[in-house]
Structure 1
């Protein structure tokens, strides 16, 4: 199965004292060993010096970066990547540029708009000024500018009046210390597109859809933390491979995802979240670099639909990073030494070849 020479891989992950290890760390480690690599883990919490010291002590060829937060602050994910770049550490996933651009939802929206990638009209609130992009119409969904895993998104996020909008913006500043982003709420299908591979030759995975199940038709379909991380019960929202997607719509969704992947300087793997309106138009909501890689995640589900096992998905991510750094290339098999090849017959200056 392996296409790389055996490497020594250190899995970097966040683990506060007293907490249990995330299952994804074990799953990725098992996959790396199945692929023939040596795997070790590096747990970090809130000591900056631990990061580079433990990586150096591991003597690894490459870090598989699963560290999505640091010191209980998800916004520090980009700082961990920046530190590894300063230390000349080779690692999987997006680097500082991609994480900075995609982590800030306002920057993401502005870049999507610049590249003419469809995204809902929006307004930004920094506590002093308000900037609008497009002709906004209520209802709006209000979210923190730099949140992750649907933090700050819930029942109060959907607003229908300026009064409610102002109140929600103030709550976000007070509770999360963040700027606020308000965008038009797109009622429709919610889909996720996984992209893996190098920025030069990315591969788009099958479209995954969030089936809202027995959702109350009177309630807006919002994928908040309860939907994403709540227990799965009969009729509760669940992930599934998207069906009834016309070839034309699929092409538009995949094109938007590909442009976002390249425009935001992502690499190795990412997940792009979209809504498809009742008119059949796709709009990018968020772009997630280094998304959660657990074996039941959107990315893993899409990979299986494409015929890739979870281990093969991990392998593709590893191969993309290894290619970037020029690591672990296997020599061509059954290639005879140059001295053993018969010398070509000389070509006469007066006799045409052949």
Structure 2
């Protein structure tokens, strides 16, 4: 049963003078098509504005698209925490899931604890080094709390302890973050979207990053240029994964689902994996509340399953509605009774 027509406030980050992110308008249009009444709440750096504008909207539910605050992506968790404290109902993962997934070191430790396959790794906090597994070069080095491939680029792949030390120092200096180094898995990069309640999550078809006419002398790394650069003929692009055996597909989906549950995610998420040349899947990253652009991974996977973009947004909304007990039709008001036609 879908969520009854409701007032939905779309919470999103927008600096003064900046254009609205296209995904905000796409979600808003989908909500209208679903029969809901959307409103838009843009926030930037004033904490007071968040709750004040939510209350002013009179919304039944917040569709949370706020992935950063005060130009700091790490404060995404704090926005969710603020809404939880104010008993605001909102879509997507809450504080626990966002916090666990944002910290890549915590994510890796949780995956390892639950015996979910992930590359061997080492962590560097500026004073100590901890290793998990027998590391072998090449390694890929990334900030522990980055988002959207920040801090990942040509220098990220290292082949010696000297290069590793240099890269860790750069991350500490430039991004003021801990560093995570993990074995580089040469192979296919795939993404698994999961939507729905934690009790009955729905796994979407596997999406693959086709690297196209990639320079064979360069490692296949999905950095910011790959993710956000203009798409040209032969450049990396998202496609539905083909040529995956039923057994491998089951292993990939099982790893993704275990990660979704282990990190306490809800409503929707994207799990990033590498499939090694030996056909072994390894989880690289877990993304709660991933970018919902209508040409992104989740939308592409949804279409493959026969769901339109609007239906995808509806599934996310319905999952949150179930969690908050909003699926029942609202009780008729006195005004409704007064205007109802008399029954003869």
Verify same fold: TM over 0.5: yes
Give the match for residue 103 of structure 1. 102
Output one character per residue of 1:122-142: Cα deviation in whole Å (capped at 9) or x when no partner.
000000000000000000000
Q: Is the contact made by 2:195 and 2:269 (CA closer than 8 Å) also made in structure 1? A: yes
Give the match for residue 349 of structure 1. none
Q: In the aligned structure 1, how far is the partner of 2:266 from the partner of 2:38?
A: 22
How far is the alpha carbon of 1:5 from its aligned partner? Answer: 1.2
Give the match for residue 337 of structure 2. none
Residue 206 (1) aligns with residue 205 (2): yes
Residue 316 (1) aligns with residue 309 (2): no
Q: In the aligned structure 1, how far is the partner of 2:132 from the partner of 2:322?
A: 39
Give the match for residue 45 of structure 2. 46
Q: Is the contact made by 2:3 and 2:317 (CA closer than 8 Å) also made in structure 1? A: no
Output one character per residue of 1:217-258: Cα deviation in whole Å (capped at 9) or x when no partner.
111000000000000001000000000000000000000000
Give the match for residue 253 of structure 1. 252
Q: Is the contact made by 1:32 and 1:314 (CA closer than 8 Å) also made in structure 2? A: yes
Give the match for residue 352 of structure 1. none
Runs of 4+ in 1 over 6 A off after TM superposition: none
Give the match for residue 348 of structure 1. none
Give the match for residue 8 of structure 2. 9
Give the match for residue 136 of structure 2. 137
Secondary structure of the residue aligned to 2:208 is strand
Give the match for residue 214 of structure 2. 215
Give RMSD over aligned pairs.
0.8
Secondary structure of the residue aligned to 2:174 is helix
Output one character per residue of 1:272-312: Cα deviation in whole Å (capped at 9) or x when no partner.
00000000000000000000000000000000000000000
Q: Is the contact made by 1:6 and 1:328 (CA closer than 8 Å) also made in structure 2? A: no
Give the match for residue 334 of structure 2. none
- TM-score when scaled to structure 1? 0.92
Q: In the aligned structure 1, how far is the partner of 2:39 from the partner of 2:244?
A: 42
Q: What are the residue-to-residue correspondences of 1:167-178 with 2, within 5 Å?
A: 167-178=166-177
Q: In the aligned structure 2, how far is the partner of 1:51 from the partner of 1:40?
A: 14
Q: In the aligned structure 2, how far is the partner of 1:58 from the partner of 1:196?
A: 27
Secondary structure of the residue aligned to 2:155 is helix
How far is the alpha carbon of 1:3 from its aligned partner? Answer: 2.2
* 5+ residue gaps, structure 2: 331-344
How far is the alpha carbon of 1:4 from its aligned partner? Answer: 2.1
* 5+ residue gaps, structure 1: 332-354
Q: Is the contact made by 1:190 and 1:275 (CA closer than 8 Å) also made in structure 2? A: yes
Give the match for residue 344 of structure 1. none
Give the match for residue 164 of structure 1. 163
Q: Is the contact made by 2:124 and 2:179 (CA closer than 8 Å) also made in structure 1? A: yes
Q: In the aligned structure 1, how far is the partner of 2:2 from the partner of 2:235?
A: 40
Q: Is the contact made by 2:13 and 2:68 (CA closer than 8 Å) also made in structure 1? A: yes
Secondary structure of the residue aligned to 1:156 is coil
- TM-score when scaled to structure 2? 0.95
Q: What are the residue-to-residue correspondences of 1:42-81 with 2, within 5 Å?
A: 42-81=41-80
Q: Highest Rg: 1 or 2?
A: 1
Q: What are the residue-to-residue correspondences of 1:104-119 with 2, within 5 Å?
A: 104-119=103-118
Q: In the aligned structure 2, how far is the partner of 1:148 from the partner of 1:319?
A: 27
Q: In the aligned structure 2, how far is the partner of 1:200 from the partner of 1:113?
A: 23
How far is the alpha carbon of 1:330 from its aligned partner? Answer: 4.3
Q: How many residues get paired? A: 330
How far is the alpha carbon of 1:328 from its aligned partner? Answer: 3.4
Give the match for residue 233 of structure 1. 232
Residue 263 (1) aligns with residue 255 (2): no
Give the match for residue 127 of structure 2. 128
How far is the alpha carbon of 1:101 from its aligned partner? Answer: 0.3
Give the match for residue 197 of structure 1. 196
Secondary structure of the residue aligned to 1:164 is helix
Q: Is the contact made by 1:12 and 1:64 (CA closer than 8 Å) also made in structure 2? A: yes
Q: Is the contact made by 2:269 and 2:289 (CA closer than 8 Å) also made in structure 1? A: yes
